[in-house]
Homo-oligomer: A and B are copies of this chain.
Amino acid sequence: MRILLAEDEKSMSKALTAILTKNNYSVDAVFDGEEALSYVTTGDYDIAIFDVMMPKMDGFEVVRQIRAKGITIPVMMLTAKSQVDDKVEGLDLGANDYLTKPFESKELLARIRVLTRTATSTVDNTLRFGNIELNRSNFELKGPAGSIKLPAKEFQLLEYLMANPGVIMSSEKLFDKVWGLDFDGDISIVWTNLSYIRRKLVQAGADVKIKTSRNAGYMLEQDND
């Protein structure tokens, strides 16, 4: 799970980053509103945390602009005690939640869980491609030959490929998406897991396979033999 943190006060940013990474989130920290806006538009994050008071552009304005662009990422605002009256304004502008400083790390983590949960609980809960289905509720890959329950990592990989049909995804991108920036291991882990998925696609009787484009990446492809 990837988080964009925009907080100009260095010590606060450092502390938050420590808490979040310790809890297995992958964190990118930026230090003013313009950076925040620029980073969030890459669409590379699952949730954004903005301080209200920031140089160049305040948190409210960042939220207003990203909503104006149609970006629906969940946003949590951090407000100091003295800015209590501004909270409602933050929510009206499109923030999903806010937290008043100082706060307990426990509450922060709980709220992040809630936000990411509601974000992923979309109405359509199965991905389809070719003759296969991937059920996001029970992690099951279903094909004409049967259903197989996927382990978490394989599920995330296949989910990402199915969510972006016809798009070539580089190993690095898959690596970052599934394992996050703070993972220490080698990129070959992507290959290993893709191998496992390929085997299971065959087992499920899929007419779909993961096509390799050397030096470019991978994409799902209908296999008409």
B-binding residues in A (CB < 8 A): 34, 37-38, 41-44, 56, 65, 84, 87-88, 91, 96-98, 106-107, 110-111, 113-115, 117-118, 137-139, 149, 151-153, 155, 166-168, 172-173, 176, 181, 184, 213-216, 219
Contacts and interface: CB of A to CB of B under 8 A. Distances in A.
B173 A117 contact: yes
A44 B38 CA distance: 26
A216 B113 contact: no
A97 B38 contact: yes
Contacts of A181: 106-107, 110
Given A43-B114, A151-B215, A151-B216, 9 more contacts: A34-B88, A41-B97, A42-B118, A65-B88, A110-B176, A110-B181, A138-B167, A149-B213, A151-B214
B216 A155 contact: yes
Contacts of A34: 84, 87-88
Contacts of A166: 137-138
A153 B216 CA distance: 9
Contacts of A87: 34, 38
A141 to B, nearest CB: 13
Contact of A96 (B41, B111, B172): B41
A49 to B, nearest CB: 15
A93 to B, nearest CB: 13
A216 B97 contact: no
5 contacts: A37-B88, A65-B88, A151-B213, A152-B213, A152-B216
